[in-house]
A and B are shown apart, each in its own frame.
Chain A
Amino acid sequence: GESVGLHLPTLSVQEGDNSIINCAYSNSASDYFIWYKQESGKGPQFIIDIRSNMDKRQGQRVTVLLNKTVKHLSLQIAATQPGDSAVYFCAEMRDTGNQFYFGTGTSLTVIP
């Protein structure tokens, strides 16, 4: 079946380094993607989104890249801080009904 998945379940980075979290999706009809951050005991928090007519979108310290050719998107976090430690999910919205489908998530640990 079609799914959204992540390449790596865990990622550890040194404080101050850049982090890259990857996500593969299989539904070529998906036209909108969101990255969420989920801290322990909390609901997913919106970080940044991107539409399929874009290749790149930048926010504060975060950049999302979308490669539609290989159905891959990534979240780049610049100068990673301890507060960035969390599980990161990519979610895709397919072209019917505005439903969001989530991958398994990547656990990011920032080492001080």
Chain B
Amino acid sequence: EAGVAQSPRYKIIEKRQSVAFWCNPISGHATLYWYQQILGQGPKLLIQFQNNGVVDDSQLPKDRFSAERLKGVDSTLKIQPAKLEDSAVYLCASSNLLGTEAFFGQGTRLTVV
């Protein structure tokens, strides 16, 4: 079974630039999560989708972050404009409708300089 796919693996941008990350969840998983993991910390939930609807985006900095999952499968997370403190690993995870056994992708390591 293929896992959660994310791209790119690494990205370096200057502050105030924009960046986008892509995630393809495990086939059949209705729930998709985006997490931000700052070095030395646990992942922090940014947004949760169920199919193409947003379940929880309470911790998403909506002034600069946006995410979509238009067809209920792939998802993109965008940051515009980026700040230095956005440097982190952005993890995508997916799970079944019960929420059990959420599986993570490898993550995208973002460095803002």
Residues A42 and B100 in contact in the complex (CB < 8 Å), given A99-B48, A100-B33: no
When chains A and B are docked, how far (Å) is the Cα of A98 from the Cα of B95?
9
Instruction: Chain A residues near B45: list those with CB within 8 A.
Output: 99-101
Select which of B33, B48, B104 is within 8 A of A45 by beta carbon.
Answer: B104
The reply to whether A43 and B91 contact each other, CB–CB distance below 8 Å, is: yes
Instruction: Chain A residues near B102: list those with CB within 8 A.
Output: 34, 46, 91, 100
In the assembled complex, the CB of A66 is this many whole angstroms from the nearest CB of chain B, namely: 15
When chains A and B are docked, how far (Å) is the Cα of A91 from the Cα of B99?
12
Task: Classify chain A's interface size.
Answer: 20 to 34
The reply to whether A102 and B44 contact each other, CB–CB distance below 8 Å, is: yes
In the assembled complex, the CB of A46 is this many whole angstroms from the nearest CB of chain B, namely: 6
The count of A-to-B residue pairs whose CB atoms sit within 8 angstroms is: 61
The reply to whether B104 and A98 contact each other, CB–CB distance below 8 Å, is: no
Contact flags (1/0) for B18-61 with A, using CB distance below 8 Å?
Answer: 00000000000001010100001111110010000001100000
Task: Classify chain B's interface size.
Answer: 20 to 34
When chains A and B are docked, how far (Å) is the Cα of A93 from the Cα of B9?
27
When chains A and B are docked, how far (Å) is the Cα of A49 from the Cα of B98?
13
The reply to whether B101 and A46 contact each other, CB–CB distance below 8 Å, is: yes
Contact flags (1/0) for A81-112 with B, using CB distance below 8 Å?
Answer: 00000000101010001111111110000000
Which residues of B in the span 66-113 have a Cβ within 8 Å of any Cβ on A?
91, 93, 95, 98-107
When chains A and B are docked, how far (Å) is the Cα of A71 from the Cα of B107?
30
Contact flags (1/0) for A1-39 with B, using CB distance below 8 Å?
Answer: 000100000000000000000000000000010101000
A-binding residues in B (CB < 8 A): 4, 31, 33, 35, 40-45, 48, 55-56, 91, 93, 95, 98-107
B-binding residues in A (CB < 8 A): 4, 32, 34, 36, 41-46, 49, 89, 91, 93, 97-105
Known A-B contacts: A36-B104, A43-B4. Give 19 more (CB < 8 A). A4-B42, A32-B99, A34-B102, A41-B106, A42-B106, A42-B107, A43-B93, A43-B105, A44-B93, A44-B104, A46-B103, A98-B31, A98-B55, A98-B95, A99-B55, A100-B33, A100-B45, A102-B42, A102-B43
